[in-house]
Amino acid sequence: MSGLSSTTAAGLARRFTDGQWRAVETGIGDIHTAMLAALSPRRAAALRQTVTIDLDTTDVEVYGRKKRGVAYNYLGQRCGRPHVATWAETCTALAADLMAGDEDPRGHAAGLLGRALAALPAAVRAGRVLLRADAGYFAGALARAALMAGVDFAIGAKRIAPLWRILRGVAEGDWVDAVDMNGAQVAVAAYGPDWWPSATRLLIRRVRLTPDQVSADPRSRRRRTLHPDQRALPIAELAAADTVYGYSFIVTNLDVSTGQRAAAVEHWYRHETLLNLDDVAAGHVVRFRRSGTDRIVRSRTLAHPAVVSVEQFTEIQILRRSRAAGGLEARRKLERGPKATKRPYPLRGRVRCSYCGRRMEGTPDKGAPTTGARPGASHPAHRSSMIIQRTCTCQNERCLLRSTRGANPAALVDPLNRAEQERQAAHADLDRIPARHVLSYADIAVMINDLGDVGQALDRADPAGLEDLYSALRLEMVYDASAKTVT
What is the pLDDT averaged over residues 37-48? 87
Query: Phi-psi category of 392—alpha, beta or left, where left has phi over 0 and alpha has psi -120 to 50?
Result: alpha
> How far, in Å, CA of 276 to CA of 187, rounded?
19
Half-sphere exposure of 456 (CA within 13 A, CB side): 3
What is the pLDDT averaged over residues 144-160? 92
Q: What is the mean pLDDT of the chain?
A: 76
pLDDT, position 286:
46
Highest mean pLDDT among 154-158, 180-184, 380-384, 479-483: 154-158
The answer on pLDDT for 135 being more than 80 is yes
190-245 tens-digit pLDDT:
887 778 888 899 999 999 988 888 887 777 788 888 888 888 788 778 777 878 89
Contacts of 57 (CB under 8 A, 6+ apart): 81, 82, 83, 84, 99, 105, 136
Nearest to 179 by CA among 275, 263, 246: 263
Query: Environment class of residue 173 by beta-carbon count within 10 Å: exposed (0-12), middle (13-18) or buried (19+)?
Result: exposed
Please tell me the pTM assigned to this model: 0.55
Going 42 to 43 to 46 to 48, the CA torsion angle's sign is negative
All structural domains of the chain: 16-286 (3.90.350), 348-376+437-487 (no CATH)
Question: Pairing state of beta strands 60-61 and 78-87?
Answer: antiparallel
Question: Pairing state of beta strands 50-57 and 78-87?
Answer: antiparallel
